Structure 1
Amino acid sequence: MREVTLRLVEDTDLDTLFEFMRDPESVRMAAFTAEDPDDRDAFDAHMRKVLANPEATNRVIVGDGRVVGSIASFVMEGDTEITYWVDRAVWGQGVAGRAVALLLDLVTVRPMHARVASDNAGSMRVLTKAGFEVVGTEISYATARKEEIEETILKLS
């Protein structure tokens, strides 16, 4: 992928994002997902809520002119966190790493936190390459896997 950019989320992006977020392999890797990834009403309600949050920065990831994912920062329990979702069709092409770098340029709040399923090697690699350091782990219920798994907590100072 030659060019990766971020832009504001538009209503017309929601169909594409919904399809990305219901891909079974992506859902398994993300682990901490919606209870039912196929529930469009729940997805739309969630998106309305996050897009209306004044403390959040939400963007779509555009790769070579088409939407290939989403990325956001938000505040949870006083900590600014980053989250992203990339279309499985472009995994391994550097899209997530470039999107994270672009968001970190846009959102300069530090520290920034991230959480990832500990067995999600791709996301762990993306975040550590961006400068995040592991600060701990915890056992959390992963809705997508219907079991408790280890979650790694990372921090960018």
Structure 2
Amino acid sequence: MEIALRAVEDGDLPVFHRQMTDPEAVRMAAFGPEDTSDPEAFAAYWLRVRTSSFVLRTVLADGEVAGNAAVYGVTGEREVTYWIDRAYWGRGVATAALRGLLAEVSERPLYARAAADNAASLRVLDKCGFRETARARGYANGRGQEIDEVVLVLEG
């Protein structure tokens, strides 16, 4: 499978909406937008993301929109995030997408957070060189409660 990254286009947003309203994906990701079901709230969320991200990419798998990946935040505290369509889980798409994003962004350190029980995402981050630095608790919109999260860093 060929994985590529490109700039986000307006036509990607309906696909992102479908991906980010998949109940199983929302529960697994845990941390995400407050309300993806409301189209207006989703559009407002993506307007914020598109104007505040340092780097934002659409992830393509064999030419199809498979998700998105971004680096956001202020210098010295930038974080990575990604969302991959559940149809592509377990196929190396997230790892390849994150590696591609990291190749575009040379700034280090970069940080990441994942739900402590999201073994797949933690595995992706580990494969890409991130190392656990802390454990915390945070409110997870996707679960409607505070959960344990892992804080990771990718050093220079």
Of 75, 85, 95, which aligns to 1:97?
Answer: 95
**Match for residue 141 of structure 1?**
139
Partner Cα distance (1:99, 1:113) in 2: 16
Q: Unpaired runs of 5+ in structure 2?
A: none
Matched, 1:17 2:16: yes
User: Larger deviation: 117-126 or 29-38?
Assistant: 29-38
* Structure 1 stretch displaced more, 33-42 or 72-81: 72-81
Cα distance in 1 between the residues matched to 2:45 and 2:61: 24
Matched residue, 2:154: 156
Structure 1 segment 31-42 matched on structure 2, within 5 A: 31-42=30-41
Q: Distance in 1 between matches of 2:105 and 2:124?
A: 17
**How many corresponding residue pairs?**
155
- CA distance 1:130–1:18, shift in 2 (3 Å): same
**SS across alignment from 1:138:** strand
Where does residue 109 of structure 1 map in the other structure?
107
Task: Detail structure 1 runs of 4+ shifted over 6 Å in the superposition.
Answer: none
Distance of 2:24 and 2:74 partners within structure 1: 27
Code of the residue aligned with 1:50 in structure 2: it is V
Equivalent residue, structure 2, for 1:58: 56
Alignment-mate amino acid for residue 72 of structure 1: A
Give the letter for the 2:67 counterpart: G
Q: What whole-Å deviation, never above 9, does each CA across 1:122-144 have from its counterpart, x for those lacking one?
A: 00000001000000010111111
SS at match of 2:12: helix
Deviations 1:81-117 (A, max 9, x none): 0000000001000000000000000011100000000
**Which amino acid is 1:123 matched to?**
S
2:29 is matched with which residue? 30
Deviation at residue 37 of structure 1 after TM alignment: 2.1
Contact 1:50–1:56 (CA<8 Å) still a contact in 2?
A: no
Question: Structure 1 residue 8: deviation in Å?
Answer: 0.2
Q: Where do 5+ consecutive residues of structure 1 fail to align?
A: none
What is the RMSD of the two structures over their aligned residues, measured on CA atoms? Answer: 1.2
Q: Which amino acid aligns with 1:70?
A: N
Question: How far 1:35 sits from its partner (Å)?
Answer: 2.3
